[in-house]
Amino acid sequence: MHVTLVHIHVKAEHVAGFIAATELNHNASIQEPGNLRFDLLQSPQDACRFILYEAYTNEDEARRHKETAHYLTWRDSVADWMASPRRGEPLIGLLPKVAQ
């Protein structure tokens, strides 16, 4: 399983728009064949900080996600709303075990 934690810091005035845009991306992403999870998490200490938890069956499926129209729309929509650049942290998901 290929997991990415995407650390995101959004400008305060764009939090609601970011959540709405990410919900659209989420709804399409969970329909992708290799997607296992696509969660949006918000910090309880700082409402401007988020983590996207993205889990795909393998690295190829994760890479394909970044070629989809919904991802490209999301990326372009939220680009100017960032307080700092997004940071992806790739991880190898060990459990639960996923058949490939």
Domains, in order of start, for the chain: 10-92 (3.30.70.100)
Residues 6+ apart with CB under 8 A from 12: 47, 48
Residue 96, pLDDT score? 86
Over the stretch 11-67, which tens digit does the pLDDT of each residue have? 999 999 999 999 999 999 999 999 999 999 999 999 999 999 999 999 999 999 999
